[in-house]
Amino acid sequence: MSFAEDVRFGNVSIFVIPFYIGETLRKAVFTNEELLARSAATALSSPLHKHEMAEVHLLICGTKTMRVGDTTFLLRAGDLLAIPPHTYHELLETCSDQLLQVVFSVDLPLEQTTRLHVPPSLVKLFQDEIQTALKSRDFHKLSHYFSLLCCDLFPHPLAAEKESDYAYLIRHFFDNHYYKDVYLSDLAQLLHVSEKQAERLVVKYTGNKFRQELTRHRMLIAGHLMEQKQVPLSEIAHYVGYRSYSGFWKAWKKFHQEQA
């Protein structure tokens, strides 16, 4: 699905991918030249500059040296460097024969430059999914990798009381499975309770029954995508878990009638 493609300038396409960190909807922005960019296709150095959004650099192989503010960073394979918005930075040098990297912008309110090391196994999975997405123009799975990478940059602490464990698991279930054919039995299995008890827990922590909460998640995502006028409704329907546009539109009208 190509819902993420936003603007095309010649051979350069700009993509916007929505993803969640906790309950907050965020977006990653990148070009086809920034994903899996090799030094042969990009400058070996760059002038001092800054961006409106936070910028994330993930090295897959090779090395490069960057200066952010007054600090110089030597980045190697697996290193992730996140630069806050409106922060001056520059690329000083790269290992031109080996550099392979991913660069993208995110709307995260970072307050300081953050450096993390991403496990090789995750880097490889991310790299493979990027290649698949760029070929198929289906960025659905890729959005989950952005969530995974960015959650450490902007963590949302959760209360540790046992009672809140169910609240977290229920929210996590709907956040990560709303686009699938899921049933109350799937949630019951995750919570290790009966279906009747699972329904009670959903009502307790969300105020809705299972099917109502699933529909609410789907409609919230659909509403966000509708604000991006370039996204066809048929693609939105598929993205949020409906097999047909007619089924989605019927659910959309019913949902908003009930909300009114």
Q: Give pTM, 2 decimals.
A: 0.56
The pLDDT tens digits for 57-74 are 999 888 889 999 889 999
Fold of 162-259: Arc Repressor Mutant, subunit A (1.10.10)
CA angle 177/155/148 to nearest 5° reads 45
How confident is residue 196, by pLDDT bands cut at 50, 70 and 90?
A: very high
Asked whether residue 241 carries a pLDDT value surpassing 60, the answer given is: yes
Asked whether residue 44 carries a pLDDT value surpassing 90, the answer given is: no
Range with the poorest average pLDDT among 25-39, 77-91, 144-158: 25-39
The dotted CATH code for 5-151 is 2.60.120.10
Q: Give kind and range of the element (H or E) at residue 92.
A: strand 89-94
Dihedral angle over CA of 140, 180, 154, 115, nearest 10: -50
Q: Provide the 10 A C-beta neighbour count for residue 189.
A: 12
Q: Check residues 236 and 40 and name the one with the higher pLDDT.
A: 236
The pLDDT tens digits for 179-192 are 888 999 999 988 88
Domain locations in the chain? 5-151, 162-259
* Dihedral pair phi/psi, residue 45, rounded to 5°: -155, 165
